[in-house]
A = this chain, B = another copy of it.
Amino acid sequence: MKAKATIHLSSRPSVISYAAVGGKKEGEGPLGDYFDKINDDPYLSCTTYEQAESKLQKQAVLICLNKAGLQPENVDVLFGGDLLNQCVSTTYGVRSFEIPFLGIYGACSTMSEGLALSSIFTDKGVCQKAMAVTSSHFCTAERQYRFPLTYAGQRPPTAQWTVTAGASLLVSQHCKAPYVKACTIGRIVDMDITDANNMGAAMAPAAFDTIRNFFEETGKTPSEFDCIVTGDLGKVGSRLFCDLMQRHGIDVSANHKDCGLMMYHMTDQDVHAGASGCGCAGSALCGYFLPKLKAGEIKNMLFAATGALLSPTTTQQGESIPCISHLVWLSSEDN
């Protein structure tokens, strides 16, 4: 029998602060008003796109700390990661803060991995305040995964648009809503999909595996949650995900939301199958969902960001795409 993947957080740690910063296109999308800051300049006044992405992380951490009235030295540990080779958006973005740092890699599932680890650390008394940060940038992702923008490569209909955004949140030992009640650590799922322009289809089975594990291990049902949020499955992946759940007797069609379908106006913003990138689920959580949990507009939600753990090298070598999804149960209710 497999080990249980769900960890119950009995002390219910609190997400006491959060921040989301975005780019111009994100500002023009349906979530535009929910960002703490919009950067119209894709370079953010830096000389390279990579430096710009690092600056998104720096902005997100500073705004998050500022909203909590805290300084970097008040944070015990920072979990951070991103999509760039060797996670350099993070390491260069946060190096000046001098916070004890644990680098994580979960591709676009990074925010749920960081939130899960921050919640576990505070719940178990490892530390008092733990922070998570992530980012993505359209221009750095295009350069690395596909082509430099100036090549003007054609995108197939299943392709998703990498979100330019940074997101950060701060978890503290139990004090106020929203609370983190449990998390489910994902397993790597590889269904032998090899099309790197169809990440949604590759990632859907990972979201399904983790969310099903959560329901099986806790005895909870979908109707107990206002929303069940996946990371960035987009149009293709979301349909597959709901189908997979349905076939296994779990109906999430009434309360499933996908951050990849929320970020842009799907008819006007020319993003094909939707949004993607670590900043997608990260900024949707920190900009849109966490304030609604705090206000009690959302009572219970599952947040399951999804990541595709491939690299351009493995794609060139004809490998399939291993994927993962970590889940966090967030609640406005202290019980």
Copies held by the complex: 2
Q: Is the CB of A313 within 8 A of B124?
A: no
Q: Is the CB of B127 within 8 A of A322?
A: no
Q: Which of A17-25, A95-103, A236-244, A280-288 contacts B (4 or more CB under 8 A)?
A: A95-103
Q: Is the CB of A102 within 8 A of B113?
A: yes
Residue among B3, B81, B100, B104 making CB contact with A185, cutoff 8 Å: B100
Q: Is the CB of B124 within 8 A of A87?
A: no
Contacts of A120 in B (CB 8 A): 121, 126
Query: Cβ of A50 < 8 Å from any Cβ of B?
Result: yes
Task: Give the nearest-CB partner of A84 in chain B.
Answer: B311
Q: Is the CB of A101 within 8 A of B50?
A: no
Residue among B88, B94, B121 making CB contact with A313, cutoff 8 Å: B88
Q: Distance in Å from the Cβ of A170 to the closest Cβ of chain B?
A: 13
Q: Is the CB of A124 within 8 A of B127?
A: no
Q: Distance in Å from the Cβ of A73 to the closest Cβ of chain B?
A: 5
Task: Give the nearest-CB partner of A317 in chain B.
Answer: B48
Task: Give the nearest-CB partner of A91 in chain B.
Answer: B309
Q: Is the CB of A309 within 8 A of B124?
A: no
Residue tally, chain A, CB below 8 Å to B: 62
Contacts of A92 in B (CB 8 A): 314, 319, 322
Within the assembled complex, what's the spacing in Å between the Cα atoms of A324 and B99?
A: 11
Q: Is the CB of B107 within 8 A of A104?
A: no
Q: Distance in Å from the Cβ of A32 to the closest Cβ of chain B?
A: 30
Q: Distance in Å from the Cβ of A211 to the closest Cβ of chain B?
A: 14
Q: Is the CB of B105 within 8 A of A310?
A: no
Contacts of A66 in B (CB 8 A): none
Q: Is the CB of A314 within 8 A of B124?
A: no
Query: Cβ of A5 < 8 Å from any Cβ of B?
Result: yes
Residue among B87, B124, B317, B322 making CB contact with A95, cutoff 8 Å: B322
Q: Which of A172-180, A186-194, A197-205, A247-255 contacts B (4 or more CB under 8 A)?
A: A186-194
Interface residues of A in 282-335 (CB under 8 A from B): 309-314, 317, 319, 322, 324, 326
Within the assembled complex, what's the spacing in Å between the Cα atoms of A107 and B5?
A: 27
A98 in contact with B50 given A74-B3, A86-B309, A103-B113 (CB within 8 Å):
no
Apart from A7-B126, A48-B317, A102-B185, what 9 extra A-B contacts exist at CB < 8 Å? Answer: A77-B185, A81-B103, A85-B86, A88-B313, A88-B314, A101-B188, A102-B104, A120-B121, A144-B313
What are 5 A-B contacts defined by CB distance under 8 Å?
A3-B73, A86-B105, A102-B106, A102-B326, A104-B105
